[in-house]
Amino acid sequence: MAAEIRLFPCLSDNFGYLIHDPASKATASIDAPEAAPIIKALQREGWTLTDILITHHHADHVGGIAELKAKYDCRVVAPHDKAAPIADVDERVREGDSVHVGGLAARVLETPGHTLDHISYVFDADDAVFCADTLFSVGCGRVFEGTYPMMWASLLKLRALPDQIRVYCGHEYTLANIKFALTVDPDNAALKARAEQAARQRAANQPTVPTLIGEEKQTNVFLRADVPSVAAALGLAGKRAAEVFGELRERKNRS
Ligand SMILES: [Zn+2]
């Protein structure tokens, strides 16, 4: 049976996510921005939390762990990089490890840059990736702890996933990301179509996620740093993609 995925808002602009295995009844929360909306979502579905899969150490992704663990005695899976403190961790995972949620299986991708410990969870059989603050819809996370080449390499790993994989990211930043992307990539027809779609979604108070890897490859300017027209638009024709990516990220920081 296919996984069931629920998304709901947490904090100011984080997404909360539950992934549920109907066969075993196992349910994981991807990150734990805050406990209350996660508990509410579980109660609404009649699900019991068995696992929390943490992507990185930032407070808006781990703040709810203690309360959820106290209530459900669930397993907490987190990145192996212990330099970043995350409390109540039961299992540390690294690149290539498998994480099981009942009968569902996720593959761990190390995607550092936003933080050094950042990982993403790919549920291959369910066509879903939870990539938190590495890849956003039409954007990417700020590079706080890593380098631009490191973040670019992480984005390439995600870009290499099959087109039909659904992208579940950490924040609802899509409209701001589109506004920025259009300044660099104004003639991109797929981006313009996405702008109209996202505007309709937000006007109807709907989330703009999940998106698809295939859509992101067409619309996300941060995944297009190796496209000649994008480099040229930045005055960086012929430069290495990681350098073009760094310039994109700096311009977005200033926007
Ligand atoms: Zn973060």
Nearest to 56 by CA among 32, 88, 36: 32
Q: What are the pLDDT digits (tens) for 199-243?
A: 999 999 999 999 999 999 999 999 999 999 999 999 999 999 999
Give the helix/strand (H/E) hosting 193.
Answer: helix 189-203
Residues with Cβ–ion distance below 5 A, ligand 1: 58, 133
pLDDT band at 95 (very low <50, low <70, confident <90, very high): very high
If you measure from the C-alpha of residue 23 to the centroid of ligand 1, how many angstroms do you get, rounded to a whole number?
32
If you measure from the C-alpha of residue 114 to the centroid of ligand 1, how many angstroms do you get, rounded to a whole number?
7
If you measure from the C-alpha of residue 136 to the centroid of ligand 1, how many angstroms do you get, rounded to a whole number?
11
Distances (CA, A) of 76 to 13, 30, 122, 216: 23, 10, 17, 30
Hey, which residues does 139 pair with through a beta bridge?
136
In angstroms, the CA 126 to CA 122 distance is 9
Percent of the chain topping pLDDT 90? 96
Q: What are the pLDDT digits (tens) for 107-135?
A: 999 999 999 999 999 999 999 999 999 99
Q: What is the mean pLDDT of residues 45-69?
A: 98
Amino acid at 19: I
pLDDT band at 84 (very low <50, low <70, confident <90, very high): confident
In angstroms, the CA 85 to CA 12 distance is 23
Nearest to 15 by CA among 198, 181, 197, 168: 168
pLDDT for the residue numbered 165? 98
pLDDT band at 193 (very low <50, low <70, confident <90, very high): very high
- What is the set of active-site residues? 56, 58, 60-61, 114, 133, 171
DSSP classification of residue 88? T
Q: What is the mean pLDDT of residues 144-163?
A: 98
